[in-house]
């Protein structure tokens, strides 16, 4: 009983903060108009096999379906958990990281969706308002499906991925799942110049620190992970 209560308190705190900042009125809405999305940036990742693959795939498909129905007009904000909703409703249990430990929880695997949206947003130069990296790097070179530093963990009520459309035209995330690959298309009315991402890593005995920079060497984010050999 305590966990739902804590989540509701966190949601209420966020609601008040969004209300006072007026972000509450800037969140993206379901697409109602016929926009001329003639330009596309595409990014693809493999959905790696695992013990709970079928449940993970269910969660990815459900989250993607909800995301695909939204459009992000200029100055509007995409909020992952406002669009996707509570993972305890309709989502299945799959493996995920909680406090640095691998566990099975409802909505497990959705972080691949938030991560690929985050990565393509960096490439497009969209404004990142909120993003949280995982606390632990659980992957090896063989199991990694995205560059370290491009992940975006979601904890309903606590940690969100929020992206602002700082472009003068609407954009839309369209996600497709084909043959165990997730493809995210960033659709836009005008062409978007793709930014090159540079990765610099510093390794010590316990942690990996990753800086992500653009091609002008502007720091986009810094992520710190505890090293872990266990595979997901």
* Strand, helix or coil for residue 208: strand
Quote the CA–CA distance of 76 and 147 in Å, as a whole number.
Answer: 27
Per residue of the chain (232 residues), what is the pLDDT tens digit? 677 899 999 999 999 999 999 999 999 999 887 788 999 999 999 998 878 889 999 999 999 999 999 999 999 999 999 999 999 889 998 877 666 667 778 778 899 999 999 999 999 999 999 999 999 988 887 888 999 999 999 999 999 999 999 999 999 999 999 989 999 999 999 999 999 999 999 998 899 999 999 988 999 999 999 987 544 4
Q: How far is CA 14 from CA 27, 163, 181, in A?
A: 13, 16, 34
The residues that bridge with 210 in the sheet, in sequence order, are 201, 223
pLDDT at 139: 83
What's the whole-model pTM score?
0.92
pLDDT at 97: 66
* Nearest-10 Cα torsion for 113, 118, 123, 128: 160
Quote the CA–CA distance of 84 and 140 in Å, as a whole number.
Answer: 29
Quote the CA–CA distance of 161 and 115 in Å, as a whole number.
Answer: 9
Is the C-alpha dihedral spanning 17, 21, 22, 28 positive or negative?
negative
For every residue of 87-150, DSSP letters joined together read TTSS--EEEEEETTEEEEEETTTTHHHHHHHHHHHHHHT-EEEE----SEE---TTT--S-TT-
Quote the CA–CA distance of 47 and 129 in Å, as a whole number.
Answer: 27
Quote the CA–CA distance of 203 and 227 in Å, as a whole number.
Answer: 9
pLDDT at 230: 47
* Strand, helix or coil for residue 184: strand
């Amino acid at each position: 009983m305590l966990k739902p209560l804590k989540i509701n308190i966190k949601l209420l705190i966020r609601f008040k903060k969004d209300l006072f900042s007026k972000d509450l009125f800037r969140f993206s809405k379901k697409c109602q108009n016929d926009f001329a999305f003639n330009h596309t940036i595409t990014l693809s990742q493999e959905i790696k096999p695992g013990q709970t693959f079928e449940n993970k795939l269910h969660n990815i498909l459900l989250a993607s379906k909800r995301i695909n129905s939204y459009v992000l007009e200029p100055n509007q904000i995409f909020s992952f958990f406002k669009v996707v909703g509570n993972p305890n409703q309709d989502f299945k249990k799959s493996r995920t990281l909680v406090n640095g430990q691998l566990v099975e929880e409802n909505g497990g695997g959705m972080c691949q969706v938030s991560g690929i949206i985050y990565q393509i947003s960096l490439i497009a130069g969209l404004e990142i308002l909120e993003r949280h990296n995982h606390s632990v790097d659980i992957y090896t070179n063989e199991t990694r499906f995205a560059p370290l530093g491009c992940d975006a963990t979601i904890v309903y009520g606590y940690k969100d991925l929020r992206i602002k459309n700082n472009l003068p035209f609407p954009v839309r995330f369209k996600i497709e799942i084909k043959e165990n690959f997730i493809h995210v298309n960033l659709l836009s009315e005008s062409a978007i110049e793709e930014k090159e991402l540079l990765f610099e890593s510093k390794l010590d005995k316990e942690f990996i620190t990753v800086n992500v920079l653009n091609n002008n060497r502007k720091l986009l984010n810094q992520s710190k992970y505890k090293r872990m050999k266990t595979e997901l």
